[in-house]
Amino acid sequence: MLKRRVWLLSALTISVVTVAAVANGASSFLPNLFSFPDPNGVLKTYSSTGTIDLTGPFFQSLGTNGRSCASCHQPSDAWSVSAAHVAARFEQTNGLDPIFRTNDGSNCDHNIDTTTVAGRRQAYSLLTGRGLIRVALDLPARAEFEVVGVRNPYACNDTSTLSMYRRPLPSTNLRFLSTVMWDGRESSTQTGTQPITFATDPGDLLSDLAHQALDATNGHAQATTPLTPQQQQQIVAFEMGLSTAQAVDSSAGSLNSLGASGGPMTLVNQPFYIGINDPLGQNPYNTAFTPVVFTLFTPAWVNASATDAIAASRASILRGQKLFNSKPIDIKSVGGLNDATGLSVIPGTCGTCHDAFNVGNHSVSAPLNIGIADVVNPLDVSYLPVITLRQKADPTKEVSTTDPGRAMVTGKWADIGKFKGPILRGLAARAPYFHNGAAASLKEVLEFYDVRFDMKLTDQEKADLVAFLTAL
Ligand code: HEC
Ligand code: HEC
């Protein structure tokens, strides 16, 4: 028993430790729909298997460095990790919690001193400051480009294995995925995994997730013996049963009261199939695309509110939903869209790219380059490496990027800087945002879009969109 509690302390954050305490110290279960406080209210997860068993393989140390999946996928943080909670974990453990490991938790795996607290503070600064994990990938065989040089602020300058810095994606709401990982590398023929298609989903998704669990254990947890097929199945079944969303907003109250359908329970029955709402005509039933992607909050929800303050917050969330569904965006120079369609300007909305109903990821696999990895960027990316690539076919073409993204899977020049549009639920619990954590807040996300697409958003529109995203 003592052993298990020590393990609980080291493997999970403060919040889960609190849960254990609440449940009289002896519980190894998280009650279903447990309330996790986050900066804007309460986050909840529904598990189709009933309670969340904190002793299952997802929570076990299955490798050699003490990490479990939960080291980086925390129930309190919408099954990702918020940078704030990682920083708190550092302070609580003096940087000794298993998330702080040099294989991929530190800024680089060499040129560091982890023998002192001060040394560790420096070595893990990207993890505590931005919640970033170092993803090291080999240059794909037969890539259309070569690496001219790498300027990595932390000395990881290798040009055959590139170090990139990425946020853990939530290991929840996985039923809606159209591709696994930011760059889709666990759903790609190049890696021996399966693209997720209408015809083969969910078999392809389940096998990709099983492969992903194996890779994660070998990589992040430095396993010397691979997961058994049974452990893989248990992890996948567990993850697939999770539905997570913001349930209570600190200003607007319960997000599923009076006819609104926020919170995790409505996600459980949310219809989805690959291509359910695709702007480029990939719906398998030829159903037309609609930009009205989110329908969680209805006018009735606002009118019926009890107090003025609550009514005002609800009205703001509702306006934000409407802006998401209708505010025009001139989509320009987006790799994967403008080049794919041959249109220099695509009149769109947020939902052109975040099109899956009430979930917000792209309903077909669509790696897009909106410029988050660009060296010259409305966001501060000065903490990231500069990787310079040269096209083999035309050596006059050179590009510098902080992360080649999908191109490190396909080897294609055209795929440089492309990433998937992620699921937009449980956002409040898992700042910062984008694959590289460059937006510290949802406000910064909106400021990025405002500049990048010259949207001319008013302060009120930004505030409404932030209120809406926070309530997801
Ligand atoms: C050291 C931190 C860390 C650990 C430990 C870890 N992950 Fe992750 N996980 C990440 C990061 C970072 C990403 C995104 C990387 C990328 O896309 O390049 C990710 C992505 C994922 C995704 C993809 C979700 C999506 O939307 O595509 C799943 C699923 C996942 N992890 C499950 C697991 C499981 C299961 C385990 C345990 C076997 C695990 N992870 C262990 C950091 C971690
Ligand atoms: C042209 C396509 C496109 C449009 C338009 C678009 N997005 Fe995105 N969005 C993406 C992609 C791709 C990513 C992931 C980018 C990355 O991290 O490299 C993303 C990421 C995000 C994230 C971060 C999620 C996370 O987990 O970190 C948020 C929030 C978001 N978008 C909200 C919006 C809102 C709100 C709008 C409308 C104002 C919008 N997006 C318009 C493509 C788009």
What is the distance in A from the centroid of ligand 2 to the CA of 216? 25
- Which ligand does the CA of 340 lie closest to? 2
pTM of this prediction?
0.95
Indicate the length of the chain as a whole number: 472
Count, in order, helices (H) and strands (E) of the chain: 15, 13
Substitution candidate for ligand 1 out of 124, 171, 435 with most atoms within 8 A of CB: 171
All structural domains of the chain with their residue ranges? 2-82+167-372+419-470
Minimal CA–CA distance to 434: which of 364, 384, 365, 363? 384
Q: Does the beta carbon of 216 sit less than 6 angstroms from any atom of ligand 1?
A: yes
Nearest in space to 75 (alpha carbons), one of 165, 12, 26, 161: 12
pLDDT tens figures, 54-105: 999 999 999 999 999 999 999 999 999 999 999 999 999 999 999 999 999 9
pLDDT one digit per residue (tens) for the chain, 472 residues: 233 333 333 334 444 444 443 444 457 999 999 999 999 999 999 999 899 999 999 999 999 999 999 999 999 999 999 999 999 999 999 999 999 999 999 999 999 999 999 999 999 999 999 999 999 999 999 999 999 999 999 999 999 999 999 999 999 999 999 999 999 999 999 999 999 999 999 999 999 999 999 999 999 999 999 999 999 999 999 999 999 999 999 999 999 998 999 999 999 999 999 999 999 999 999 999 999 999 999 998 887 656 788 999 999 999 999 999 999 999 999 999 999 999 999 999 999 999 999 999 999 999 999 999 999 999 999 999 999 999 999 999 999 999 999 999 999 999 999 999 999 999 999 999 999 999 999 999 999 999 999 999 999 999 999 999 999 9
| Element (DSSP H or E) covering residue 30 | strand 29-30
Pick the ligand that lies closest to the CA of residue 167.
1
Short-list 123, 121, 97, CA closest to 112: 123
166 CA to centre of ligand 1 in angstroms? 10
Q: Which residue has the tokens 């937009």?
A: 424
Distance 226 CA to ligand 2 centre (A): 35
pLDDT digits (tens, 9 = 90+) for 385-423: 999 999 999 999 999 999 999 999 999 999 999 999 999
**Residue 88 to residue 215: CA distance in whole angstroms:** 28
